[in-house]
Amino acid sequence: MKILIIGATGYVGSHVATAFTEAGHDVAALTRPGGGRSPHRPVTGDLADPSSLTAAATGYDLVVHAGAPLGEAADLAGVDALLAAGSPLLYTTGAAVLGSSPADEDTPPDPHPVAAWRPEIERRVLAAGGRVVRPGLVYGHGGGLVHGLLTGKAAERGEGVYIGDPGVRWPVVHVTDLAALYVAVAERAAPGTVWHGVGETARLDAIAAALGGGSASSWPLEEAEAELGPLAGLFTRDQQVSATRTRDALAWEPAHLSIADHLRTGRE
């Protein structure tokens, strides 16, 4: 397939672009003027300029949006511009669109405020026959919130930290497993479907302990909010997100099934 990747220079997007290339697809990368360089063929466009996206996304067998969210207005305008191109769209939202109760691929969204507009994005993509991937907390190869936030906090405090009460669970996925899921969705998933990128459910205090050499303590929510804003509250949302249907229907088999072991052993 001829595929355009949005976010190909980012953490998730770069792994997704590599996975599609290794699977034999013809990959191009949306490239912002003056932005980062990708090893893939550049196509000029900018998520911050929705008017540039329709022309950039025209003529592809698939457009994969794995770029970072920019905010409600920009994200909604961007998805409308991409859909106007007429190329099939595979869009990334995330487990933050789901609530605290057990959820599967059919569970109605109950988003955290930091993702309040993403259910509407999902609705528009699915109504147009696109597909949606909801990753959990992504880790591996030195990226994501684990590396960007939790590892730094552990180094700063001399022990791992989690926000709020112990026992909160999150869906997590290794970035290479997630990249393989995008290829599986592109090659085997029906239009108008939602898929969950979850390798396991892990306790955030266990992740913190793995980062802290076996010790971890709570970062009070009020203190975390003062530094992180609304994002801090997301870390207190206990989630059990199933990917059973995704695994069974797409024959997706994550290879990384213990983030705690991964962090303790320093694997990539």
pLDDT of residue 38: 79
pLDDT of residue 34: 78
| d(C-alpha 102, C-alpha 67), whole Å | 27
Q: What is the mean pLDDT of each run of 10 residues along the chain (268 residues)?
A: 96 97 98 83 95 97 96 97 98 95 95 96 98 97 89 92 95 98 98 98 96 94 95 95 98 96 87
| d(C-alpha 246, C-alpha 31), whole Å | 31
pLDDT of residue 267: 80
* Tokens at 4, concatenated: 């355009």
pLDDT of residue 141: 93
- Reference 12, options 132, 162, 181; nearest CA is 181
**CATH number listed for the domain at residues 2-137+173-197:** 3.40.50.720
pLDDT of residue 147: 84
pLDDT of residue 101: 86
The residues that bridge with 135 in the sheet, in sequence order, are: 197
- pTM for the full model? 0.95
pLDDT of residue 37: 77
What region does 34 belong to: left with phi over 0, alpha with psi -120 to 50, or beta? left
What residue ranges do the domains of the chain occupy? 2-137+173-197, 139-172+200-240+255-265
Q: Is the dihedral of CA 218, 220, 226, 228 positive or negative?
A: positive
| d(C-alpha 119, C-alpha 141), whole Å | 29
SS3 69: coil
| d(C-alpha 42, C-alpha 77), whole Å | 22
CA 89 to chain centroid, in Å, comes to: 16
